[in-house]
Amino acid sequence: MEKYATQIKRSSASRHQLEKIKVGDLVEDEFGKSGKVSDIEKICYSNEQHYYFYLGKSGTILVII
């Protein structure tokens, strides 16, 4: 069974969509950066949340909502 990458669009990402992403999932953003999630870091500030999806050698996808 082939697994498809979850598309993350920073402008329309919802907290629910980001919470569903787990370590080991395939993700890609609207700029073409993609890879398998090796770690997730969530940082809460007063009125926003930062989601860091570490993709191993492919880099990091940061989404602020």
Q: Which two tokens stand for residue 57?
A: 């050698």
pLDDT reported for residue 4:
87
Domains of the chain, with CATH numbers? 6-64 (2.30.30)
Q: pLDDT by residue (tens digit) across 31-58?
A: 999 999 999 999 999 899 999 999 988 9
Q: Could you identify the residue written with the tokens 């979850």? A: 6
User: Which pLDDT score, from 0 to 100, does residue 14 have?
Assistant: 94
Q: Cβ distance 13 to 63 under 8 Å?
A: yes
Looking at the chain, the whole-number percentage of residues with pLDDT higher than 70 is 97
Q: How far is CA 39 from CA 3, 20, 24, in A?
A: 19, 14, 8
**Contacts for 48 with CB less than 8 Å, ≥ 6 apart:** 64, 65
Amino acid at position 1, single letter: M
pTM here is 0.90
